[in-house]
Amino acid sequence: MTEFVDDRRAKRNVAVLVAAQAILGAQMPMIFVIGGLAGGMLSPNPCLATLPISFIVFGSMITAPWLSPLMQRNGRRFGFFLGAASGAVGAMISAYGLYIGSFYVLLMGSLLTGVYMSAQGFYRFAATDTASEAFRPKAISYVMAGGLISAIIGPQLNKLVQDAFVVPFLGTYLAVAALNLFGMLLFLALDLPKDTKGQPVMANAPKARSRRELLRDPRIIVAVICGMVAYSLMNLVMTSTPLAVVGCGFTKNNANDIVSAHVLAMFAPSFFTGHLIARFGVEKIIATGLVILMGAGMVALSGVAIPNFFGALILLGIGWNFGFIGATTMLSSAHAPHERGVVQGMNDMIVFGMVTVASLASGGLMKCSGGTAVEGWDAVNLAMIPFLILAAGALIWLRKIEKSA
C-alpha cells in the first residue's frame, strides 16, 4: 500500500533545507576562493596549489558510499549533523595547518571538510523524501535556490575575515568552523516521517537491484554521466578562477566578487528550473545546460579582462544549474524508494570521483601547462570540450534507446 504523501510537510522540510543551504553552504564559496591561494602559499610545488580543494572533493567522494546508507538507516538528520560537525573540525584543522605553515595538515582538514560537502549534496535528495512526484523537481530547485543567499554571505564574509589575522586566510577557516556550529542547529527543525529512517524489513518487501543492474538502466547511466559532467566542468573552471584572476594582475577581492557572481548564477535559476523541467522535459533542460557551459568556455577563451571573467563564470553557473538539477531529477525518477540509499550513494561517489580528477587537473593545467596565467587559463577552458562531447553523446544515446523501445 502506498503511503499518502503530504506536500505540506515536504514544503516545511524544504524551508529548513533552504536555510541550511544558505547558511552552512556559505562555507563552500569561501573555501573555494581561498583554497587554491592557501595551497599555493604552502605547497612545495606550484602544480599542487589546488590540492586542498581536490582533497575536499575526494573526501566527499569517499564519504558518499557510506553516508547515504547510514542516513537511510539512521535518518537524514543524523547524517546532516555528522556532516556539519566534520566541517567544523575540518576547518579548525585547516586553520591550524595555516598557523604552523604545514601544507599536509591543511590537506587533512580539507579531507574532513569533504564529509560536510558530501552531506550538503544530500540536501537535494532529502527534499524529495516526503514530496509527491509533481512537487519533486520543484523541491530540488528550491533547496538549490538556497545557494543564492550563500553566494552573498560566503564571499562577502570572506572579504571581512580573510586578512583578519597576520596569517593569511586563517580568519576564513575560523569563520567556517563557526558557520558549521551555528548552522547544524537548523536540522532540529526537520519534520521527517518515521519511515525516512529506513524502510522496515518485511517478508514481502521488494528487493533492490544490485549496483550492476542499476548501472544497466539507461536513465540512471545518463543521469550519472550528465551530473558528473556538469559538476566536473563547474569545478574545473571555478577552482582555477581565483588563481587566474590574481595571476592576471587583479586582486583577491576581485576574485571574491567573481566567485560570488558565479555562485549566484549557480542558484538563481533554481526558482524556475523545476518548472522548466516540468514543462519541457528533463532531457531538454540538461541539453540547454550543456550549450550554456560551452558558451562559458567560449567567453573565457575570448579574453582575460574582468568582464570576461564575470561573463564566463556567470554562464558556468547557469549551465551547471540546468545540467545538475536536470541530472538529479532524472536520477530521482529512475529508481524505486527502497533503492534510494544505494543509488544516491553510488551516484555521488561517481560524480565526485570525476570532480576530484577535475580539481586536480585544474591546478595542473592552470599552473603547469604554460608560462603565463593566460596560457594556463586557456588550457583549463579547452579541457571542457571532451566532457561536453561525452554528455551530449549520452543524451543522444538515451533518446535513441527510448525511441526504439
Range of the domain at 323: 7-193+208-404
126 lies in a domain? yes
CA dihedral 171, 173, 177, 183 (to 10 degrees): 90
Place of cell 543564492: 148
> Would you state the pLDDT for residue 263?
84
Contact present, 27 and 94 (Cβ < 8 Å): no
> Would you state the pLDDT for residue 195?
44
33 lies in a domain? yes
DSSP string, 238-293: HHHHHHHHHHTT--HHHHHHHHHHHHHHHHTTHHHHHHHHHHH-HHHHHHHHHHHH
Measured distance CA(231)–CA(121) in Å, rounded = 12
2 lies in a domain? no
1 lies in a domain? no
User: Which residue, 387, 383, 385, 389, is CA-closest to 366?
Assistant: 383
153 lies in a domain? yes
pLDDT digit string (tens) for the chain, length 405 residues: 444 455 788 888 889 999 999 999 999 989 988 888 899 899 888 888 889 988 998 998 889 888 888 887 888 899 999 999 999 999 999 999 999 999 999 999 999 999 999 999 888 778 877 777 778 777 887 887 788 888 888 888 998 998 889 999 999 999 999 999 999 999 998 886 554 444 444 445 567 677 788 778 899 999 999 999 999 999 999 989 988 999 999 998 898 899 889 988 988 888 888 889 989 999 999 999 999 999 999 999 999 999 999 999 999 999 999 999 899 889 887 777 777 777 877 888 888 889 888 888 888 888 887 778 899 999 999 999 999 999 999 999 999 998 887
Other beta carbons within 10 angstroms of residue 403's beta carbon come to: 7
200 lies in a domain? no
Q: Which three cell numbers stand for residue 243?
A: 588563481
N- to C-terminal Cα separation, the chain:
29
Measured distance CA(267)–CA(264) in Å, rounded = 5
275 lies in a domain? yes
State the DSSP code for 370: S
The count of structural domains within the chain is 1
What amino acid occupies position 132?
S
> Would you state the pLDDT for residue 340?
73
pTM above 0.85, yes or no: no
- Alpha carbon separation from 184 to 12, 141, 206, 280 (Å, rounded): 17, 22, 35, 37
Measured distance CA(178)–CA(174) in Å, rounded = 6
User: If DSSP codes are grouped into helix, strand and coil, which group holds residue 130?
Assistant: coil
What amino acid occupies position 256?
N
Question: The domain that contains 58 carries what CATH number?
Answer: 1.20.1250.20
CA 363 to chain centre: 18
Contact present, 109 and 169 (Cβ < 8 Å): no
164 lies in a domain? yes
Contact present, 63 and 115 (Cβ < 8 Å): yes
Q: Classify burial at 133, counting beta carbons within 10 Å of its beta carbon; exposed 0-12, middle 13-18, buried 19 or more.
A: exposed
State the DSSP code for 157: H
